[in-house]
Each structure stands twice: as C-alpha cells, then as structure tokens.
Amino acid sequence: MESVLSGHGYRVFRAHTGRIALEAARTAQPRLVIVDVMLPLADPLGLCRQLRDDPEVGPSIPLLVITKSRPAPADHRVAIRSGVWEFLVDPIHPYKLTERVDAYVLATMPSEDPAPAPLTDAEGLYTAEGLNRRARELALQAFHHHAGFACVVLSPAQERDAARVAARLKAAARRSDALGRLG
C-alpha cells in the first residue's frame, strides 16, 4: 500500500502503534488517514475516535479502515460513530486504492479562495459554510456505511436560548453529528 501511494505522488507516514499514529497525525496534518485493523497495540476504532476527537486532527480528515473481511452491518454502525468514512477490504487492487484516496483527498481540499470563510465560530459550532461542508462529508460517510443521514434544524424562539440549546446539543452529540449555527 505504501509503495502504491508513494508511486502515485503521495507522501506516506507509517506508524507501527496507535500512539505513534496519533502523534504523527497531530504533527503531519494529513489529508487522509488509513488505519489497519491489524495495527499492533491499538484498537482501530478507538484510534479513529481519538483522531476524530483531537482538535489538531479534527472531524474533516477522512479516516479509512483496512480490514481483512467484509464488514457486517453492525460493524458499519460502530464505525460511523467512530468517525470512519469507509472500510477497504484487503487485498485491495492498487487502482482502486489510488482511486479512493484521490477521491477523498480531492473532496477535502481547502478552498482556493484567498480568505475562505471560517468553518466554526467562537463557540466551536459550525458556521453555515462549515455545516455545508460537513454535511457533504457526512453524506459520503453514510453512503459508504449504508447508513441513514438526517438533518435537523432547531430555531429557538429567543436568541438568548440559542447558547443553552447549543450547549445541551454539544453535550449529547456523537462523533458523527455536526452542530452549527445558521444565524
């Protein structure tokens, strides 16, 4: 996998444990992370949850998991809650691997706008632009996991209630939820 991706122009960082992978993701600021279920000394989905929760890595980095067998529906439910975008079944054809990686990297490329709109506000909630981007990412994730996808918009009657509603939603949110403010 490393030689295929390197040959396709990607710089590949290898980590031999979950702890090293988390540290490497923090410092390298990757466009994509691939986690092998056979990674020693690591719970692959636990590592994905740590990556997703880490503010230096964040929710928008595609997380792919390499597995030896086709995942069951229950595996997909756990994976989507852990922030996994897609399972890839090993062995994977080099063409399919580069096709998947290219698609995810392209989908998450930053805007060429010299002053892009911020994706989150001071309270850590997504802005309208951030919600739009995150909704596209979550829709792609749901598609690959054969999972449902919903959008819920709440409009507190009073602006003063917005912060209280936001705090309660953030406290109850899952990794697969995107919380934002439209106005």
* Model confidence band, residue 183 (pLDDT cutoffs 50, 70, 90): low
* Model confidence band, residue 114 (pLDDT cutoffs 50, 70, 90): low
User: Does residue 52 contact residue 33 with C-beta atoms inside 8 Å?
Assistant: no
- Report CA torsion sign: 174, 51, 33, 181: positive
The stretch 142-165 carries a mean pLDDT of 74
Residue 151 has pLDDT above 80, yes or no: no
CA distances from 168 to 42, 74, 83, 96, 151 (A): 32, 28, 21, 42, 17
Question: DSSP letter at 126?
Answer: B
User: Does residue 43 contact residue 117 with C-beta atoms inside 8 Å?
Assistant: no
